[in-house]
Chains A and B, each alone.
Chain A
Amino acid sequence: MLTLSRVSRRYGETTALDGVDFVVPENTYMSLLGASGSGKTTLLRLIAGFEEPDQGEISIDGERIDGQPPHLRDIGFVFQNFALFPHLTVAQNVSYGLRYRANAPVSNENEIKDRTESVLSLVGLSGFGHRAISAISGGQRQRVALARTMICEPRVILLDEPLGALDANLRARMCDELKAIRERLKVSFLHVTGSETEALTMGDKVAVLSGGKIVQSDAPDTLFSHPNNVDAARHLNAWNIFEAGLCGPAMGQGTVAVRFDQIDVSAEGEVPDGRPWLRAKYLTGEFNGPTALSFFRAEDGTLLQVIDHLSQPRLPDMVEGQHYDLHFAPDAARQFHGAA
């Protein structure tokens, strides 16, 4: 179990991480969702030991690891650009850690060869061992990077946007493979990403990093349907977030979040009884295949989105520039108090 408590990191005047409390349980695929510049890469670098925190503690199974040099932490790291050793072959890349590590290096060539081959076959690269790094594709490099890390059997594997450098097709396939590989290894993965779909698909648990803090860490479905705060809701890219005051006194004070798919639209003054509503101008629509997205502007300027599934259309015909009433079930709204 990897534990971070009150971890902070500052660069001069800017604070990258501000008291992060975070737990990665055993044998878990943990996704860490954060916008670019949210400090998610910094968080990984602190755990791996490439940088050290200004405050706070990082520990694995109760043993403190901050302050230890990176090569003694026994933590795997998969880089966004893969960072393979360009002067070595695929097999040499993979066996590198076994051969040269400071703790318990393996010198038996047969053992090295067997373990290299078995881990290469685990990532689907059997027979690629003799190739140069420059002679394999992006997806294959990704697998080499993973194999190279896995062969050392680290306590945790950190993945820094590992799919970022791959094209969309490959990304979808690697998603499944990463999950499958992790399940076979029974080691915890901490996968950092800026994409909410990637985070939700991959993670057994998803944590949201915002403003230098972990704002929520939950199972993906819980997180998606019950974000605990405005920051978490905003990162999911599925929630409209607006001032409660827009719906009149009915909603009281604070901020309200309603999911894109749980808002209904009707002509002005035709809202069914018992449903909170707000008035908004229809801007435009966007057709995305199985779904259609409609954009509205609330009276205080907030942009609102409504998703309509083609199989169950529920929106009326709308004219751009006209005002409509947007309404939702009272229990569909999540209400937060305090600053948005």
Chain B
Amino acid sequence: MTALSTDTPTKPTHSPAELREKQDRRRAMGLLTPGLLWMSLFMVLPMCMVVYVSFWTQTTFAVESTLTTASWERFLSSSTYLSAIGTTLRVWAIVLVATVVVGYPVALFIGLFVRNKTFQTALLVACVIPFWTSFLIRVIAWRPMLGTEGAINVILMKLGIISEPLTFLLFSEFSVLVGMTQIYCVFMVGPITFMLGRIDPSVIEAARDLGASFGTIFRRIILPLSLPGVMVGSIFVSVMVLGEFATAASLSGRKVNLLGNIIVSQVGSLKWAFAAVAGVVLTIIITAVIALALRIVDLRKEM
């Protein structure tokens, strides 16, 4: 043991506590460095690159690093691209509301009304299972469902409710909204169920004993306690919907152009600077949405 006394710090200015703290901090930093480095190099740097290239000069098939605002001017003066911003925001807002409206009652049932743990878990698993099918397959699955000869039209015609197939179902904004709502709804159901599951049933029991109606209990207890779940779910859904392009590409028949689709098509025609402008606009929108949400809910605490 005596040989180890060489390790003992001799600097009188630092107490052992300070040295230990320093050592712990150094260890934490050491463990964290590879991850942070990875994120800086492969996420932050590319994002900076997007902003940078948005000011480059676009030639027919290439970009040059001469700085200009030409791409920005073209983007902001084009009604096509400005309407893409509008479409993106509209689709985002509708899907967000739709996921809450569709998902909340389900979360309410699973989180609050099902008291059997096994059944609760089974229902949650049932919600998650579709995720083991490829995302793209799940998108494409809406085509035979909504098409003019798709399942819904066939059923409705067999039932005699309609005589002509409904054509607005597929290759329209409607199909994009339905597809996105179905795919992203679970991200709303999950967090809300989690929050509702944390409500002590005896609180509701007590309120009921005091003669509170379900409406009052819902307004005073259930809704406030589930709001953080709604916020977390909203962050998930927003981030995914705003960056979407595949659903629109597959189900809208090119009728719906989101910012994501603009980026993809611009990259396809090698208009890098232009894609970058759309990317920066998208980044600004997403940052604003997340910043707003984080102002309302502390993500670190809720996780």
Direct chain A–B contact by Cβ atoms under 8 Å = yes
- A interface residues (Cβ-Cβ under 8 A, vs B): 9, 51-55, 63-64, 66-69, 72, 74, 103
Chain B stretch 1-17: residues in CB contact (< 8 A) with chain A: 1-2, 4-5, 7-9, 15-17
Residue pairs across A and B with CB atoms within 8 Å: the count is: 34
B134 vs chain A, min Cβ distance (A): 37
- B interface residues (Cβ-Cβ under 8 A, vs A): 1-2, 4-5, 7-9, 15-20
Check B9 against A67 for contact (C-beta < 8 Å): yes
Chain A residues, Cβ within 8 Å of B19: 52, 67
Chain B residues, Cβ within 8 Å of A68: 4, 7-8
Q: Do A54 and B15 form a contact, CB below 8 Å, given A63-B2, A72-B1? A: yes
Can you give 23 A-B contacts (C-beta < 8 A)?
A9-B17, A51-B20, A52-B15, A52-B16, A52-B17, A52-B19, A52-B20, A53-B15, A53-B16, A53-B17, A54-B17, A54-B18, A63-B1, A63-B5, A64-B5, A64-B8, A66-B16, A67-B7, A67-B8, A68-B7, A72-B1, A72-B4, A103-B1
* Chain A contact surface mostly: loop
* Chain B contact surface mostly: helix
Bound form: Cα–Cα A53–B17 in Å? 5
Bound form: Cα–Cα A66–B15 in Å? 10
B11 vs chain A, min Cβ distance (A): 10
Bound form: Cα–Cα A41–B158 in Å? 77
A104 vs chain B, min Cβ distance (A): 11
Output the nearest chain B residue to A9 by Cβ-Cβ distance: B17
Chain B residues, Cβ within 8 Å of A69: 7
Chain A residues, Cβ within 8 Å of B17: 9, 51-54
Bound form: Cα–Cα A55–B14 in Å? 9
Check A55 against B7 for contact (C-beta < 8 Å): no
Instruction: In the A-B complex, list the 8 residue pairs whose CB atoms are closest, starting with the nearest.
Output: A52-B16, A52-B20, A52-B17, A67-B16, A54-B17, A66-B16, A67-B8, A54-B15
Bound form: Cα–Cα A9–B16 in Å? 10
B13 vs chain A, min Cβ distance (A): 13
Check A55 against B15 for contact (C-beta < 8 Å): yes
Output the nearest chain B residue to A155 by Cβ-Cβ distance: B1
B113 vs chain A, min Cβ distance (A): 34
B5 vs chain A, min Cβ distance (A): 7
Output the nearest chain A residue to B8 by Cβ-Cβ distance: A67
Chain B residues, Cβ within 8 Å of A52: 15-17, 19-20
Chain B residues, Cβ within 8 Å of A103: 1
B19 vs chain A, min Cβ distance (A): 7
Chain A residues, Cβ within 8 Å of B7: 67-69
B3 vs chain A, min Cβ distance (A): 10
Bound form: Cα–Cα A54–B20 in Å? 10
Output the nearest chain A residue to B21 by Cβ-Cβ distance: A52
